[in-house]
């Protein structure tokens, strides 16, 4: 992983820091694993804007990712490491002995030609998917399932990782990227290693146009809006008025919205840090 700072030959490149892409091995995706990706522009099925500041952007095709890793004890060879426009992490194209190809989330250190495997026969090497019951304590893991067979839902973004802390009964204790410590069934899968592209957080776009390419439209401050548009809008001059809150009136700072009777509360040992 590396980043490059460009020479300031234009105003847009003066502060721009780009990804080095030194681990990427090809720019041609596998056609059989592509799917169309329809954009909504922030509108729901009634055509009403439900998510503001969305729209435009470059056309993308979705890469079908194997989050379940359900070909157990079946080795696969890494063919390429690729960029995915739909996520911050890089992805790896792997091929099984029978010729089937799949995309998986790439971990730091995953190389072309390497063999990865999932299931009981897997060893705790980078890229292998193992059950939490078989992973050595203290191991750095990512792409973690929350329910057996569900597929990876946690620690999937660039540079993310969790740590397996302990095992007790049928549950494993995992410290998540947010700082939360929670119990997860030992029959859930997790991948060994840190998610690739860990330098993603160092990237600086350099100009507003790059946000437009990603489908992000300009955002207007809430206090500069009219009362009809936002609870914090209106007033004479620059009066902010009231407490910071969302468009739906929910306070923005320190107000807890999580239900006290939520079913998963009993699995959370320590809440995430504020």
CATH code for the domain of 191: 2.40.50.140
What's the pTM? 0.92
The pLDDT value recorded for residue 239 is 81
The pLDDT value recorded for residue 163 is 98
How many Å apart are CA 28 and CA 6, to the nearest integer? 25
State how far the alpha carbon of 223 is from the alpha carbons of 98, 153, 236, 238, 244, in Å: 60, 36, 11, 8, 9
Q: Identify whether 243 is part of a domain.
A: no
Q: Identify whether 85 is part of a domain.
A: yes
- State how many domains the chain has: 1
Ordered per-residue pLDDT tens for the chain, 274 residues: 689 999 999 999 999 999 999 999 999 999 999 999 999 999 999 999 999 999 999 999 999 999 999 999 999 999 999 999 999 999 999 999 999 999 999 999 999 999 999 999 999 999 999 999 999 999 999 999 999 999 999 999 999 999 999 999 999 999 999 999 999 999 999 999 999 999 999 999 999 999 999 999 999 999 999 999 999 999 888 887 788 999 899 999 989 999 999 999 999 999 987 6
Nearest partner of 194 among 242, 127, 256, 250, judged by Cα: 127
Instruction: Find the domain containing 77 and state its range.
Output: 3-201+263-270
How many Å apart are CA 82 and CA 76, to the nearest integer? 16
Q: Identify whether 236 is part of a domain.
A: no
Please classify residue 255 by burial: count the beta carbons closer than 10 Å to its beta carbon, then call 0-12 exposed, 13-18 middle and 19+ buried. Answer: exposed
């Amino acid at each position: 992983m590396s980043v490059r700072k460009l020479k300031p030959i234009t105003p847009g490149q003066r502060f721009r820091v780009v990804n080095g892409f030194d681990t990427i091995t090809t720019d041609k995706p596998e056609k059989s694993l592509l799917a169309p990706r329809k954009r909504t522009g922030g509108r729901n099925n009634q055509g009403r804007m439900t998510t503001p500041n969305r729209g435009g952007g470059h056309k993308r095709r979705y890469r079908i990712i194997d989050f379940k890793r359900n070909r157990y004890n079946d080795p696969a060879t890494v063919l390429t490491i690729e960029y995915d426009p739909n996520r911050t992490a890089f992805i790896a194209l792997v091929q099984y002995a029978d010729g089937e190809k799949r995309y998986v989330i790439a971990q730091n250190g995953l190389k072309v030609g390497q063999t990865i495997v999932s299931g009981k026969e897997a060893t705790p090497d980078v890229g292998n998917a193992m059950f939490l019951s078989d992973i050595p304590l203290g191991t750095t893991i990512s792409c973690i399932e929350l329910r057996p067979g569900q597929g990876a839902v946690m620690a999937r973004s660039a540079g993310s990782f969790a740590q397996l802390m302990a095992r007790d009964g049928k549950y494993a204790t995992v410290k998540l990227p947010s700082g939360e410590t929670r119990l997860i069934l030992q029959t859930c899968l997790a991948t060994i290693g840190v998610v690739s592209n860990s330098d993603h957080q160092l990237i600086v776009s350099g100009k507003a146009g790059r946000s437009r390419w990603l489908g992000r439209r300009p955002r207007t401050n809430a206090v500069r809006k009219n009362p009809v548009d936002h609870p914090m809008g209106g007033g004479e001059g620059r009066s902010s008025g009231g407490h910071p809150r969302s468009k739906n009136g929910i306070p923005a700072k320190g107000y807890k919205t999580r239900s006290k009777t939520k079913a998963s509360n009993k699995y959370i040992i320590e809440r995430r840090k504020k």
